[in-house]
Structure 1
Amino acid sequence: MARNGNKVVGFCIFGGYEGVPDRFGPFGVDPDEQGKGLGKILLNICLKQMKAESLHGAWFLWTGEKSSAGYLYKKTGFEITRTFHVMKKDI
């Protein structure tokens, strides 16, 4: 967790979903703090902790490939292994 004074400005966790330790996220940075490298720092600290706990990989289900998070994940070495399509119907 990252703070600016008493305000939480970023967080990054793993293993938070149904006890699956190598599932990464959620992860977020306050919009006012984005673009300063905080996300990169939090992501790398989290991955280092995952490795220290003997996990062999990190995965998550989705993000926008062209989003700032998507670019960060790709620069950090994450690869796309599946693609999902959102379908909807007005009723």
Structure 2
Amino acid sequence: MSASIAGHGRIDPFLSKPKSEQMTLKCMVKYTRNLLGKYFGKWLYDKEIPFDAANSPYFSPMVNAIQKAGLGVKPPTIYELSGPILHEEVEEV
């Protein structure tokens, strides 16, 4: 199946994949998104963080940074958050 519009080339490489592979990718994305929601939710509930924290303009950039960091990158420690990272933010403000 070709995913193109006459004269415009490919629209989306995903659409050119066989249906069975498209469904597998969709299922993987859905599963991963659900897993992310589950762990993010547990963190919110455990620390009694208000749900509207997800509306913060810093939420999406944080999630994007985590995605780009990839596997094996450890989150900042409490020392880093309360020390150097906090000091950088104070200087920026």
Indicate whether the TM-score tops 0.5. no
TM-score, with length taken from structure 1:
0.26
Name which structure has the greater RCO, CA cutoff 8 Å, separation 6+: 1
Rg comparison, structure with higher value: 2
TM-score, with length taken from structure 2:
0.25
Answer 1 or 2: which has greater strand percent: 1
